[in-house]
Amino acid sequence: MMRNRESALRSRARKRAYVQELEKEVRRLVNENLKLKRQCKQLKLDMAALVRQSSSKSSSHIRRTSSSTQL
């Protein structure tokens, strides 16, 4: 009877340790996910700014090209 009780106690302790490790991993992954979401948002903002900048340069280049051909 005592061996069974001790075995059950060890089993519950292993399960608690396993659950704690899983919870720790969940917290780590949630933090990593938040970090990656922020990084993705920043990259999208940077990309939009570059697209606007590129579009602006293209349109000014077209205006200069078309005005120089009219001379």
Domain assignment of residue 33, given as a range:
1-71
Question: Per residue in 13-70, pLDDT tens?
Answer: 999 999 999 999 999 999 999 999 999 999 999 999 999 998 887 776 666 666 666 6
Global pTM value: 0.66
Q: How many domains is the chain partitioned into structurally? A: 1
Secondary structure of the chain as H, E, C letters: CHHHHHHHHHHHHHHHHHHHHHHHHHHHHHHHHHHHHHHHHHHHHHHHHHHHHHHHHHHHHHHHHHHHHCC
